[in-house]
Amino acid sequence: MRRMASKTWIAIALATALAGAVVGVSADDKISQNGKEITSGPFKGTKVSPSGTISIVFEPHEHCSVCSKIVFIQVVRRTSVCAEGSWLLPGGVPFPLMPSAITPTWAYKDKVTIPSEGKSVDFLEGEKDPYYNGDDPEDGAAKPKENAPGKQQQGYKENPVRRATMRDTPNIPVPDGADRVILDFETAAFCAEGPDRGHFFGTVNWRYDRGKGEQASVTIRSASSVTGPPDLEFLILDEQANVVGDFRMYSMGAAGQPSQNFFDALNKWLDHYNFTFPGTVFGLPVPKELPEGPPPEWWGGYFDDVLGPWVIVQCPGVARKNVGFSVVPLPPEELIEDRQLESLGLRASGLPRWIDAADWDELSLFDWESLFVLPIVMTLTYTDAEVEGLHEETVGMGIFDWETGSYTTDGIRIHSRDTDENRITFSTRRLGILALVGSPTD
């Protein structure tokens, strides 16, 4: 009951703090009638050559936040069509393709592909990031301060600005047993470095279509870029609901923001490769230790004048609603005993924290899926006492699942552990009671 009272109070505080949020404006870049060139807007100069190569250009503009590294992330949906159909699939209906069905050398892409839709991040084997023109040697891209004419290049919005560019020539054959192959691409311009990293600045949707015995056709289907400031806010709150950090985000569906399909594929790639996706970083002070005795009438006063280690929070650049986010320490007795976890040879020990998020529009609380489209990255500092009884090198994070009555690591990825500094970095898609979990020493 203490937590619910506190969370409701936090939601009310958000309504006041966010009352002046600005709503962005939506508009599209213009495309030529034949679908071969974008003729105006930040993607102006994007075009398809007679040979089927698409060259995508993004020019940073006044509505882009300051960014020292603009890259592209590309998601592709692969389908095939059989004209006559079969007992299983009617003729003319697109059927999702796994990458290995197109060419066996793409089998490595299967593990990050959503089978029911044939979609995944477009990447090459060995890459360390999901960027099409990132820092991997396979990308062959010029970095922001590197002058390399003729190469793909990363852009930036500083003084001066430089456009980001990329090229793609699909040249995909029609798979055996099919009459047509269709690849739908969604390519997003993304800020990977800078003070407001994590923002998406625009998207281009284009299609590769090839029938058996035909020349491939590449057409630009739509383009959209941001035309106003971000319309949502991500507020970092301390234990008394004071705002200690403020980061603007774009809402799903706003101009220039990728689709849900895009984020589904990106999240699958991030999960598999355990990549720490960029976002704006804030530090959140939390109490180091809790006084003894019963809690006062309202939750926040329980922690007066007990400031201690920082929680480092990395905020995503796009969300569904305005967000107020807090990490509230809990008394040690709130660490729930978990016999199911112990049956797996693990134990929850120390660092009880309540990860909380609220949407101020409705003055109510939501789960992760109703607020966020990308994981939140956090770095927590713990004490030696909080890992007592655990092999520290095995320590991870668990979120208590009220339905199963057990801690779970589902939706949590551990990025790094620093046992010398007592620090752990992880990303989460779950909210609730968090605890350190690891193998017991006894």
How far from each other are the two terminal CA atoms of the chain, in whole angstroms?
Answer: 35
Please check the confidence at residue 191 and state whether its pLDDT lies above 70: yes
3-state secondary structure at position 329: strand
pLDDT at 309: 56
pLDDT at 269: 97
Task: Tell which residue, 233, 242, 381, has the closest CA to residue 312.
Answer: 381
pLDDT > 90 fraction of the chain, expressed in percent and rounded? 39
pLDDT at 73: 98
Place of tokens 């592709």: 76
CB 381 within 8 A of CB 357: no
pLDDT at 430: 77
Please check the confidence at residue 348 and state whether its pLDDT lies above 80: no
Q: Mean pLDDT across the stretch 336-348?
A: 68
Please check the confidence at residue 370 and state whether its pLDDT lies above 50: yes
Omega within 30 of 0 (cis) for the link into 160 = yes
pLDDT at 26: 36
pLDDT tens for each residue of 117-162: 999 999 999 999 999 999 888 888 877 777 766 678 999 998 889 9
User: What gap in Å lies between CA 198 and CA 415, rounded to an integer?
Assistant: 18
Q: How would you label 111-139 residue by residue, b for 16+ Cβ within 10 Å and e otherwise?
A: ebbbeeebbbbbbeeebebbbbbbebeeb
Question: Mean pLDDT of all residues in the chain?
Answer: 80
Please check the confidence at residue 254 and state whether its pLDDT lies above 70: yes
> In whole angstroms, how far apart are CA 302 and each of 213, 292, 293, 331, 355?
73, 10, 10, 10, 17
Q: Mean pLDDT across the stretch 182-200?
A: 94
Please check the confidence at residue 323 and state whether its pLDDT lies above 60: yes
pLDDT at 82: 81
- Cβ count within 10 A of residue 19: 8
Q: What stretches of 171-279 adopt beta strand conformation (E)?
A: 180-193, 200-211, 217-225, 232-237, 243-251
Average the pLDDT over each of 181-185, 186-190, 227-231, 402-406 and give the range with the smallest value: 402-406
> In whole angstroms, how far apart are CA 72 and each of 17, 258, 304, 390?
34, 12, 46, 42
pLDDT at 132: 95
Higher pLDDT, 367 or 27: 367
Task: Tell which residue, 6, 56, 59, has the closest CA to residue 31.
Answer: 56
Please check the confidence at residue 187 and state whether its pLDDT lies above 70: yes
CA angle 173, 176, 182 (to 5 degrees): 45
> In whole angstroms, how far apart are CA 393 and each of 66, 228, 422?
39, 46, 11
Q: Mean pLDDT across the stretch 181-201?
A: 94
pLDDT tens for each residue of 1-12: 223 334 433 343
Higher pLDDT, 371 or 73: 73
User: What gap in Å lies between CA 422 and CA 45, rounded to an integer?
Assistant: 50
Please check the confidence at residue 188 and state whether its pLDDT lies above 90: yes
pLDDT tens for each residue of 62-115: 889 899 999 999 999 999 988 665 545 555 678 899 999 998 999 999 999 999
User: What gap in Å lies between CA 332 and CA 422, rounded to an integer?
Assistant: 18
Dihedral angle, C-alpha 153, 156, 162, 168, nearest 10 °: 30
User: What gap in Å lies between CA 78 and CA 81, rounded to an integer?
Assistant: 11
Sign of CA dihedral 396, 402, 403, 405: positive
- Cβ count within 10 A of residue 415: 14
Question: Between β-strands 323-329 and 232-237, what pairing exists: parallel, antiparallel or unpaired?
Answer: parallel
> In whole angstroms, how far apart are CA 138 and each of 120, 126, 315?
18, 8, 29
Q: Two tokens at 36? A: 């071969």
Please check the confidence at residue 292 and state whether its pLDDT lies above 70: no
pLDDT at 245: 73
339 — pLDDT class (breaks 50, 70, 90): low
Q: What stretches of 316-411 adopt beta strand conformation (E)?
A: 318-319, 323-329, 347-348, 353-359, 364-365, 376-381, 396-401, 406-408
> In whole angstroms, how far apart are CA 390 and each of 350, 378, 386, 428?
10, 21, 9, 22
Task: Tell me the backbone φ, ψ of residue 170, rounded to 5 degrees.
Answer: -60, -55
Please check the confidence at residue 437 and state whether its pLDDT lies above 80: yes
pLDDT tens for each residue of 213-247: 999 999 999 999 998 999 998 887 776 777 777 78
Higher pLDDT, 283 or 249: 249
Q: Mean pLDDT across the stretch 311-338?
A: 77
Sign of CA dihedral 352, 267, 187, 136: positive
